[in-house]
């Protein structure tokens, strides 16, 4: 029987190991934990091992420190990767003509909106250094501990506030300073650079398979900088536990106006005790009494229902030559975006948290993304002791550069992010109330697809999403067997989603929904959503999302139906959003 191996260690360093069967694994992930008031709770550590495959092994052997051994498939991403790799490749090397060539730092965009061509009032280009070191994960001597923000006590927050204050006091040109660290996110998420190897395309690490690994490295160095500033090698960032009802309120210390964790550019209506809405849109606020149940349904969809395939959790593949925003994964386009928009200033631009260029200027950004990172660890753990990941070198050998805690520019790779314990940190274990929260249908065996009178999808698109759009989508296969379902996931693909990245956008998707109550997401008819927060530097993009249907159709008891009624419900920005088409595929 397959097992998942876990190690346990208490604050005194005593450790033991045990295994959980699949039947007990679910119980472990939902087990109760004591309420903590200090900073030394017991730790449950999820140990995950990964097999990358021989193709990755051979690919990585071609990417050594030698200047002439750059893998042509490798995607050079990151501060130094974009301006430093040119110094690593001899001028007569054939690699100069490959897609791995690094853009010159002089091409860093310093102030022109790509859509409007008007000047921007932001410059997030980083300090320049040509001294780049290939980073090797150091041996883990003491594990860093990342606590749930709502459970961490005064002793912990005293350390955290001191660390942030010291970071803010660093010289402005120190790459470890608060604003320089905020600019790291701005540079890679605001279309600042040309892509390595393809100057016609802009670099964007969001809305693709780089979302999780890039942000993991970002948090890793941010955390190490803070720890060094206070002389605590065990210091870990807190995670804003918004996937749990007890953590859906903004953590108190972040709302204290006298704290260095406070940011005045937040939505003042969303300070405690307001509940974070994981389906947030300013133009369509949810009823307060529906937020918790909606949130748990959203989390179940993002972490369980819609993520049978790697692309659907990680996001679409993104290599040199790919246009920005090929397709976001489930968490990225859902709860992640909602928390950004909900927290940011109540203005169209959404600053600070509500706009990608400025979001790193709010200390709560790092607690927010630490929870996103935690969800990645949990999702991989739920998939077994050896969860499947991409084996392509285009992902595993992609690399980014960051300044470390010593202000040294270092190159890091995706393949080193797949085990958080090897990176030296663990998460406090808390309940996962969404894990068993499979939504129930409002109506089973609905005949609404037959009686709605909605037009066929292929007669409607492309269409502007300035109103609710209902279409009938034909299923290429029906009455699928258990083996069919194990072999292929049935997916609803909404493609050609054309948006301006400067706008906040959200729409929800329902299947065979007779209730027609778009405020209620806690039902099996809710298939998922698409959302984005604004970027300072805007560009028109076409993207897509994929929503899992296999479990949803079982719940609705319509697996024998030939057609489904799909409803697209705009919540914000629909008047400036168009949809190219809808179809069902099997993958």
Strand order of the β-sheet with 399-403 is 132-134, 409-413, 399-403
Backbone angles phi, psi at 16, to 5 degrees: -150, 170
Tell how strand 409-413 and strand 399-403 pair up: antiparallel
Residue 126, Cβ density class (10 Å: 0-12 exposed, 13-18 middle, ≥19 buried): buried
Task: Spell out the residues 6+ positions from residue 547 whose beta carbon is closer than 8 angstroms to its own.
Answer: 306, 491, 492, 493, 494, 509, 527, 528
Check if 244 is active-site: no
Contact 147, 371 (CB under 8 A): no
Our answer to whether residue 58 is catalytic in this structure is no
Q: State how far the Cα of 207 lies from the Cα of 332, in Å rounded to an integer.
A: 7
Q: Is 270 annotated as a binding residue?
A: no
Structure tokens at 343: 């927290």
Contacts of 58 (CB under 8 A, 6+ apart): none
Q: What is the DSSP annotation of 95-115?
A: GGGSTTPPPPGGG---SB-TT
Is residue 206 annotated as a catalytic residue, yes or no? yes
Distance, in Å, from the CA atom of 531 to the CA atom of 539, rounded to the nearest integer, reads 16
Instruction: Please report where in the chains the tokens 């039902």 appear, as a residue.
Output: 523
Please tell me the distance from the alpha carbon of residue 523 to that of residue 521, in angstroms, as a whole number.
6
- Look up residue 40 and give its two tokens: 């030394």
Encoding tokens for residue 297? 């349904």
Is 340 one of the annotated active-site residues of the chain?
Answer: yes
From 52, 210, 340, 368, active-site residue? 340
Catalytic residue (choose from 185, 210, 270, 535): 185
Q: List the catalytic residue out of 206, 210, 270, 535.
A: 206
Closest CA to 431 of 560, 558, 244: 244
Q: Catalytic annotation on 215? A: yes
58 is known to lie in a ligand binding site: no
**DSSP H or E stretch at residue 449:** helix 448-451
CB 461 within 8 A of CB 579: yes
Q: DSSP strand E in 57-151: where?
A: 132-134, 144-146
Spatial distance between the Cα atoms of 526 and 576, rounded to a whole number of angstroms: 23
Q: 250: buried, middle or exposed (CB in 10 Å: 19+, 13-18, 0-12)?
A: buried
> 372 φ, ψ to 5°?
-60, -45
Q: Which two tokens stand for residue 443?
A: 């109506």
532 class by beta-carbon count within 10 Å (0-12 exposed, 13-18 middle, 19+ buried): buried
Catalytic residue among 211, 356, 365, 530: 356
How far is the C-alpha of 427 from the C-alpha of 533, rounded, in Å? 27
- 44 annotated to bind ligand: no
Please enumerate, by residue number, every residue annotated as part of a binding site for Cu cation.
185, 206, 215, 336, 340, 369
- Which residues participate in catalysis according to the annotation? 185, 206, 215, 336, 340, 356, 369
Please enumerate, by residue number, every residue annotated as part of a binding site.
185, 206, 215, 336, 340, 369
């Amino acid at each position: 029987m397959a097992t998942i191996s876990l190690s346990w260690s208490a604050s005194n360093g005593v450790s033991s190991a045990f295994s959980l069967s699949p039947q007990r694994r679910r119980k472990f992930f939902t087990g109760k934990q004591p309420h903590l008031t200090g900073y030394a709770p017991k730790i449950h550590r999820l140990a995950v091992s990964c097999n990358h495959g021989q193709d990755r092994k051979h690919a990585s052997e071609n990417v050594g420190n030698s200047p002439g051994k750059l893998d042509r498939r490798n995607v050079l991403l990151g501060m130094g990767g974009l301006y430093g790799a040119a110094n690593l490749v001899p001028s007569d090397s054939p690699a100069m003509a490959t897609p791995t060539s690094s853009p010159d730092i002089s091409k860093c965009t310093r102030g022109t909106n790509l859509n409007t061509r008007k000047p921007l009032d932001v410059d997030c280009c980083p300090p320049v250094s040509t001294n780049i070191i290939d980073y090797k994960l150091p041996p883990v001597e003491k594990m860093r501990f990342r606590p749930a923000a709502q459970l961490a006590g005064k002793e912990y927050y005293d350390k955290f506030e001191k660390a942030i204050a010291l970071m803010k006091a660093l010289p402005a040109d120190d790459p470890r300073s608060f604003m320089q660290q905020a600019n790291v996110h701005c540079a890679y998420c605001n279309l600042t650079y040309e892509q390595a190897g393809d100057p016609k395309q802009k670099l964007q690490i969001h809305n693709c398979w780089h979302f999780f690994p890039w942000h993991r490295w970002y948090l890793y160095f941010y955390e190490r900088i803070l720890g060094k500033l206070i002389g605590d090698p065990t210091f870990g960032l807190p995670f804003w536990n918004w996937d749990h009802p007890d953590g859906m309120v903004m953590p108190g210390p972040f709302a204290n106006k006298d704290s260095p964790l406070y940011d005045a550019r937040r939505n003042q209506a969303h300070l405690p005790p307001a509940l974070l809405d994981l389906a947030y849109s300013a133009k369509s606020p949810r009823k307060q009494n529906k937020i918790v149940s909606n949130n748990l349904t959203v989390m179940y969809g993002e972490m369980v229902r819609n993520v049978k395939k790697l692309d659907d959790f990680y996001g679409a593949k993104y290599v040199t030559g790919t246009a920005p925003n090929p397709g976001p994964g489930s968490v990225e386009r859902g709860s992640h975006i909602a928390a950004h928009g909900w927290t940011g200033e109540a203005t169209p631009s959404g600053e600070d948290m509500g706009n990608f260029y400025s979001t790193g200027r709010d200390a709560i950004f790092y607690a927010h993304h630490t929870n996103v990172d935690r969800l990645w660890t949990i999702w991989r753990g739920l998939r077994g002791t050896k969860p499947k990941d991409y084996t392509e070198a285009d992902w595993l050998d992609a690399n980014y550069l960051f300044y470390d805690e010593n202000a040294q520019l270092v190159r890091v790779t995706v393949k080193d992010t797949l085990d958080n314990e090897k990176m030296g940190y663990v998460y406090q274990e808390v309940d996962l109330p969404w894990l068993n929260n499979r939504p129930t249908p409002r109506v089973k065996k609905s005949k609404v697809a037959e009686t709605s009178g909605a037009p066929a999808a292929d007669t409607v698109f492309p269409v502007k999403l300035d109103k609710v759009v209902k279409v009938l989508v034909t299923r290429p296969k029906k009455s699928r067997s258990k083996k069919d379902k194990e072999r292929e996931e049935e997916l609803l693909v909404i493609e050609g989603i054309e948006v301006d990245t400067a706008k906040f956008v959200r729409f929800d998707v329902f299947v065979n929904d007779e209730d027609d109550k778009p405020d209620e997401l806690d039902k099996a008819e809710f298939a998922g959503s698409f959302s984005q927060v604004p970027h300072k530097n805007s560009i028109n993009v076409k993207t897509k999302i994929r929503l899992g249907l296999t479990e949803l159709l079982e719940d609705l008891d319509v697996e024998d139906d030939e057609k489904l009624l799909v409803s697209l419900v705009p919540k914000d920005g629909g008047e400036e959003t168009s949809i190219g088409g809808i179809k069902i595929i099997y993958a």
